[in-house]
Amino acid sequence: MKYIFVTGGVISSLGKGLTAASLGTLLENRGLKVALQKFDPYLNVDPGTMSPFQHGEVYVLDDGAETDLDLGHYERFTNTKLTRQNSLTSGQVYARVLERERRGDYLGKTVQVIPHVTDEIKTRIRELAESTKADVVITEIGGTTGDIEGLPFLEAIREFALDVGYSNALFIHVTYVPFIKAAGELKTKPTQQSVAKLREIGIAPHLVVCRCDRPLNKEIRDKISLFCNVPYEGVIEEKDVDHTIYEVPLMLQRERMDELVCQLLRLDTPPANMSHWQDLLRKLIAPQKRIRIGVVGKYIGLQDAYKSVYEALSHGGIAHDCGIELERIEAEQIEKGGAEKLLKGLGGVLVPGGFGERGVQGKILAAQYARESKLPYLGLCLGMQIATVEFARNVLGLEGAHSTEFDKASPHPVIAMLEEQKGLMNVGGTMRLGAQPVQLQVGTKAAHLYGAFVVNERHRHRYEFNNSYRAQFEQRGFIFSGTSPDGELVELIELRDHPFFLGCQFHPEFQSKPNAPHPLFRGFIAAALQRLTL
């Protein structure tokens, strides 16, 4: 069993997760079984309760774990199925250590960061290795070298390498090499200092991955090699991508990163065959056609808030050799300027998931415009609930219809809290979470797209369609195309007299991959293309 640790230096947001995921892709294509894991040094137990302003998207796994969005990269780039074992925060580590302490497990000892906290961290690496039986476990350490809160994790991986033997562990440091305009050159000092910081705590990286906006010349590579104590070939260039993040694996392959990793870990494998990846990239970079898709949300200004949604749309495009031009639309802008002004001329509109009232009215107007003008609509979670409220108000004439999330006193609560969850007080971990079966109704658009009777989809929500309104909706052409197997919970809705108007209570975006686009996104892009070529 081999272990790779990915740390980051200088600044955050360097794309360590993407680097780890891309290395995973390359190693898988060399025939190795790979497991990926993320350690986050913050004290929240999971990112489930963090605002998108703080943290970006919360990525949900099959088992309901609410995790960091880097796990989304891991799943999209590799074949691994992740569980809560693949994600660890300081909050979880301390919770476990304190629980043990209260139980008296430490037999009167003083409980300390070293060895008790570090042992807990090391256990999590070992557990993943054992349960996955992977050839290589890649562990990414969140945060930046030099942060106080990251120290226990770095200490733990240093010890871990000692435990498993140095020939079985490899350290990769992802760092930043900025171009300084006034000097007209790339600067290596921040990299030198961040590697020095790592060496201070006993970790000497084998490879230094340099994030930069232009190529590293020989002189720069020599300098990094010398000052960071890595061989010349161990200086890996990872330039900003020109078009898409899916370029990264090929970029790292050109730098021979996977070859070096295998050499250093003594893994005897053939070169990675990336021809399918090249094909996929061609479709992303030079598609035969292009289409504009609007996403109406509340965190539109943030890069990472709807990460998986944007990714899944691009996968839907790959399925049709079609490039997606995203129109990111603030829901509140629609409230101000009207839907037509912002949505006219688009191929389709998507309303993603969300919580809280801001922007809800704008999303309702977007759904109304899409329904009335026969514009393809895909509503995810809140996007489905919004479409339901709009239909209730404007087609069924149910004045004041709403979700009880936004109007507790609504005379027509067409979306309401799950009965079983009423009265729960804690905010964290009280939602319907994770993969659950969805039974599809024969003859519906959804069933046709999936080509299946039952599918598993991931959930993250509290509110549901209110069943006392089902008959009324059905009479007017609102189709319940998917439910829970017992028929109780509405999972998918669509409109009869519309080319593509579909909403789902779950999050299909979490299960879409570039080489396996999700059926609903594939169908949505097909409908958008059809509208514009008609």
Tell me which residues touch ligand GLN (CB under 6 A): 353-355, 381-382, 405, 460-463
Question: Measured between alpha carbons, how far is 3 from 206 in angstroms, rounded to an integer?
Answer: 13
507 tagged catalytic: yes
Sheet holding 501-504, edge to edge: 322-330, 289-297, 348-351, 377-380, 501-504, 490-495, 478-483, 432-440, 454-461
Instruction: Give 142 or 354: the residue with its C-beta nearer to ligand GLN.
Output: 354
Sheet holding 87-89, edge to edge: 87-89, 34-40, 136-141, 2-8, 169-176, 207-212, 235-239
Question: Measured between alpha carbons, how far is 447 from 441 in angstroms, rounded to an integer?
Answer: 6
In what helix (H) or strand (E) does residue 312 lie, and over which residues does it extend? helix 307-318
Nearest-5° angle of CA 169, CA 42, CA 457?
85
* Sequence letter at residue 282: R
Closest contact distance (angstroms) between CB of 382 and ligand GLN is: 4
Closest contact distance (angstroms) between CB of 327 and ligand GLN is: 20
Closest contact distance (angstroms) between CB of 405 and ligand GLN is: 5
And the tokens for 78? 């590799």
In the complex, residue closest to ligand GLN by CB:
353
Of the residues 390, 405, 509, 518, which is catalytic? 509
CA atoms within 13 A on the CB side of 465: 35
116 tagged catalytic: no
Q: How many angstroms separate the Cα of 141 from the Cα of each of 8, 17, 58, 138, 323? A: 7, 9, 18, 10, 34
* Cis bond before residue 287 (omega within 30° of 0): no
Question: Measured between alpha carbons, how far is 191 from 176 in angstroms, rounded to an integer?
Answer: 6
In what helix (H) or strand (E) does residue 450 lie, and over which residues does it extend? helix 445-450
- Phi, then psi, of 192 in degrees rounded to 5: -55, -45
Closest contact distance (angstroms) between CB of 427 and ligand GLN is: 11
Of the residues 381, 412, 457, 518, which is catalytic? 381
- Greatest Cα pair distance in the chain: 76
In what helix (H) or strand (E) does residue 176 lie, and over which residues does it extend? strand 169-176
Instruction: Give 258 or 330: the residue with its C-beta nearer to ligand GLN.
Output: 330
Helix (H, G, I), strand (E, B) or coil at 507: coil
Instruction: Give 272 or 416: the residue with its C-beta nearer to ligand GLN.
Output: 416
Instruction: Give 41 or 56: the residue with its C-beta nearer to ligand GLN.
Output: 56
Closest contact distance (angstroms) between CB of 303 and ligand GLN is: 19
Of the residues 73, 116, 498, 507, which is catalytic? 507
Question: Measured between alpha carbons, how far is 317 from 324 in angstroms, rounded to an integer?
Answer: 6
Instruction: Give 60 or 440: the residue with its C-beta nearer to ligand GLN.
Output: 60
Instruction: Give 249 or 354: the residue with its C-beta nearer to ligand GLN.
Output: 354
Closest contact distance (angstroms) between CB of 460 and ligand GLN is: 5
Instruction: Give 270 or 423: the residue with its C-beta nearer to ligand GLN.
Output: 423
509 tagged catalytic: yes
**Which of 372, 363, 376, 324 is CA-nearest to residue 523?**
376
Instruction: Give 48 or 354: the residue with its C-beta nearer to ligand GLN.
Output: 354
Conformational region of residue 337, where left means phi above 0, alpha means psi within -120 to 50, and beta covers everything else: alpha
Closest contact distance (angstroms) between CB of 371 and ligand GLN is: 19
Closest contact distance (angstroms) between CB of 415 and ligand GLN is: 7
Q: Give catalytic residue positions.
A: 381, 507, 509
